[in-house]
């Protein structure tokens, strides 16, 4: 044990200098880390200013709840869009109209044929015949561009005009 005390007393100066250097090194490292932490806190406070929340954890939780809500709403909208896309081809959106003079001897082009069809060429043709004594309206179904009833040339023209509509 005496040898240890002798060795320790001989090296005491070096141990004190080494400990002092280590202390100074840790002190410098602590100051550097403190300044980095201060800069980071300043940036954090600038980022959180006006957010209306006390800490970043609350903000992140709120954002996650909002994101989940948006994703649910987007899923609902996606399902609605798919159902609309299924119905869209069935809509009678293509319209063709042909005006003409049904009686060549008198009158203007007051008679007409209107075709309302969808992308499968299903729909109806309405024909209005006008003369001095009155007017008459006829409706005929259209399936795949044809009708079980005979179609006049003007009704066929109206169907062709509707088919050409984009």
The Cα 89–Cα 122 span in angstroms is 10
Which range has the worst mean pLDDT, 45-49, 75-79, 126-130? 45-49
pLDDT at 156 over 70: yes
pLDDT band with cut points at 50, 70 and 90 for residue 119: confident
SS3 assignment, position 106: coil
The Cα 54–Cα 128 span in angstroms is 73
What DSSP string runs through 35-51? HHHHHHHHHHHHHHTTS
What pLDDT, on the 0 to 100 scale, is given for residue 15? 86
- Residue 123 near residue 105 (C-beta atoms within 8 A): no
Burial of 98 (0-12, 13-18, 19+ CB in 10 A): buried
103-112 residue pLDDT tens:
776 667 888 9
- Residue 141 near residue 124 (C-beta atoms within 8 A): yes
pLDDT-above-90 percentage for the chain: 45
The Cα 76–Cα 22 span in angstroms is 64
- Residue 121 near residue 141 (C-beta atoms within 8 A): no
Domain ranges in the chain are 1-49, 57-90, 91-164
pLDDT at 166 over 60: no
The closest alpha carbon to 120, from 138, 146, 97, 139, belongs to: 146
Cβ-based neighbour number of residue 7 at 10 Å: 10
What residue has token string 């006829």? 138
């Amino acid at each position: 044990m005496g040898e240890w005390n002798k060795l320790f007393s001989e090296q005491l100066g070096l141990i004190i200098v080494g400990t002092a250097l280590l202390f100074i090194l840790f002190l410098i490292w602590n100051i550097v880390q403190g300044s980095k932490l201060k800069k980071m806190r300043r940036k954090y406070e600038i980022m959180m200013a006006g957010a209306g929340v006390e800490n970043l954890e609350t903000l992140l939780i709120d954002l996650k709840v909002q994101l989940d809500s948006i994703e649910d709403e987007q899923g609902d909208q996606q399902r609605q869009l798919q159902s609309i896309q299924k119905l869209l081809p069935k809509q009678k959106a293509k319209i063709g109209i042909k005006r003409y003079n049904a009686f060549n001897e008198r009158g203007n082009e007051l008679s007409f044929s209107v075709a309302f069809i969808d992308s499968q060429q299903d729909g109806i043709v309405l024909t209005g015949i006008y003369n001095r004594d009155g007017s008459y309206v006829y409706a005929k179904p259209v399936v795949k561009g044809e009708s079980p009833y005979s179609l006049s040339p003007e009704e066929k023209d109206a169907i062709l005009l509707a088919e050409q509509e984009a």
